[in-house]
Structure 1
Amino acid sequence: MSYQGKFRVWRGDDSGGALEDFTVEVNEGEVVLDIIHRLQATQAPDLAVRWNCKAGKCGSCSAEINGRPRLMCMTRMSVFEESETITVTPMRTFPIIRDLVTDVSFNYTKAREVPSFAPPKDLAPGEYRMQQVDVERSQEFRKCIECFLCQNTCHVVRDHEENKEAFSGPRFLMRVAELEMHPLDTADRVDQAQDEHGLGYCNITKCCSEVCPEHIHITDNALIPMKERVADRKYDPVVWLGNKLFRRS
């Protein structure tokens, strides 16, 4: 079963562009990325699109479909009405390179600003021991495929370009939380999360969790616990005194 689907695809580069209308064949069981490939093959061979695995695991084909940040390879055409016009645009938060491809180097800059795992100095590789509950706690965060949809939808950077220097975004605050919750990590990441990565900018709207294709509870399980640790350290006098006396070494 097939039909002629109506699409509006953004075409252009960093100097400007516009939405263009196309009619493309849609077959049963296809996803949006299939349609974009058919559009390239039949009508727009110069259309730029980033993709790799087409299995929802590489995070490359992030875009906005009808205004919602999604992976094109995981968005089935069956969720739309045949008469519906489907709009495909690049991620709005990041600079346009061309067509559906954006410059996501902001995220790699922020990744380099997060200090790596710091185990105890007297503990050799192979001697690490953790409780299963601690493994499971951070394993959720390890599911991240770095599609950067959470970064794209976060209004702190999406709507306020001036915040990008001071705010790392949910993906990398989640990385800080993962390391802070690791029982063998000796680095003190609470002040770092607040002072260097801008945790205080986050107002927990949960938009990052809503668009995550891996269904990671970024806000509930990473950002809120980190905010609680910051609040305890700064405002709880007992915790403040304990941290002064028994700070991690």
Structure 2
Amino acid sequence: MTTAAEATSYEAHFRVWRGDTDGGALEDFTVEVHEGEVVLDVIHRLQATQAPDLAVRWNCKAGKCGSCSAEVNGRPRLLCMTRMSVFDHAEIVTVTPLRAFPVVRDLVTDVGFNYEKAREVPAFVPPQDLGPGEYRMQQEDVGRSQEFRKCIECFLCQDTCHVVRDHEENKPAFAGPRFLMRVAELDMHPLDAADEDGLDRKRTAQEEHGLGYCNITKCCTEVCPEGIKITDNALIPLKERAADRKYDPLVWLGNKIRRRSS
């Protein structure tokens, strides 16, 4: 007699990349799947039953730490947020490491590139005439950048961006969508006094962080697990402001007048 648990379980065909910095290959597994499970559950079952040395990075299992980033059937995803119910029972589920970054072992990649880029973005510059606790902002201004604060640093947007993914030579000159979004957030912050400190965020976005490499395909927005509209709300407006700063004759004249008056 078939139990209810058995009726909602099935055997799935998984293909998981195994290897390290010296190379590797896809390895096939047949593993039991239960109703309501996510890909990370199945990977953990593989570790417990067939591949105890399988390396995978994870932490919260709730879609908030960004640790379990990988590629499932070629699409950058969080393993803990990818439900097995989206796959047909007969479908081969292929799990591979993030392609844009060097493999450490199995599904674990070295994402140090992203932390290097984070350090290259100058921090918020507080106004000189305001002390701690004296900052005041309109809710509308708070809302503009609050969306970007939802980022969980999963780096799926970095992985799917073809400028990084397909062209290793671009990495030194291109910060990637996650950190261009950070520049955009700071540039639209009404209390950021970077200009007064001699820092032109629009210029640095173009000349130091590679804003011009982005051709707004929106692939970064499509894979963001937090639903941040990276392209529409951060990258395109930043491109528009950078273009105005560099090419609009009225903006150029206004900057000249302000510099003379100061």
The DSSP-based 3-state class of the residue aligned with 1:221 is: helix
Counterpart residue number, 2:132: 125
**Residue identity opposite 2:136 in structure 1:** R
Counterpart residue number, 1:232: 244
Counterpart residue number, 2:255: 243
- Determine which structure has more spread, i.e. the larger CA radius of gyration: 2
Counterpart residue number, 2:101: 94
The DSSP-based 3-state class of the residue aligned with 1:185 is: coil
The DSSP-based 3-state class of the residue aligned with 1:165 is: helix
1:147 aligned to which of 154, 160, 173? 154
Counterpart residue number, 1:107: 114
2:214 is equivalent to residue 207 of structure 1? no
RMSD of aligned residue pairs (Cα, Å): 0.9
**Which deviations, in whole Å up to 9, do the C-alpha atoms of 1:201-249 show, x marking residues without a partner?**
00000000000000000000000001001110111100111123336x9
Structure 2 CA distance for aligned equivalents of residues 16 and 107 of structure 1: 23
**Residue identity opposite 2:160 in structure 1:** T
Q: Size of the alignment, in residue pairs?
A: 248
**Which deviations, in whole Å up to 9, do the C-alpha atoms of 1:40-84 show, x marking residues without a partner?**
000000000000000000000000000000000000000000011
**Residue identity opposite 1:102 in structure 2:** T
**Residue identity opposite 2:228 in structure 1:** I
Counterpart residue number, 1:158: 165
Counterpart residue number, 1:61: 68
Name stretches of at least 5 consecutive residues in structure 1 with no aligned partner. none
Structure 2 CA distance for aligned equivalents of residues 174 and 239 of structure 1: 23
Deviation, structure 1 residue 36: 0.2
**Which deviations, in whole Å up to 9, do the C-alpha atoms of 1:162-195 show, x marking residues without a partner?**
0000000000000000000000001120001001
Structure 2 CA distance for aligned equivalents of residues 43 and 239 of structure 1: 64
Structure 1 CA distance for aligned equivalents of residues 35 and 94 of structure 2: 19
Structure 1 CA distance for aligned equivalents of residues 258 and 191 of structure 2: 16
Structure 1 CA distance for aligned equivalents of residues 98 and 145 of structure 2: 28
What is the TM-score with the length of structure 1 in the denominator? 0.98
Counterpart residue number, 1:10: 17
The DSSP-based 3-state class of the residue aligned with 1:157 is: helix
Deviation, structure 1 residue 22: 0.1
Deviation, structure 1 residue 160: 0.4
The DSSP-based 3-state class of the residue aligned with 1:8 is: strand
Counterpart residue number, 1:217: 229
The DSSP-based 3-state class of the residue aligned with 1:52 is: coil
Structure 2 CA distance for aligned equivalents of residues 155 and 82 of structure 1: 31
**Which deviations, in whole Å up to 9, do the C-alpha atoms of 1:14-42 show, x marking residues without a partner?**
10000000000000000000000000000
Name stretches of at least 5 consecutive residues in structure 2 with no aligned partner. 1-7, 195-199
The DSSP-based 3-state class of the residue aligned with 1:156 is: helix
Identity of aligned residues (%): 82
4+ aligned runs moved over 3 Å, structure 1? none
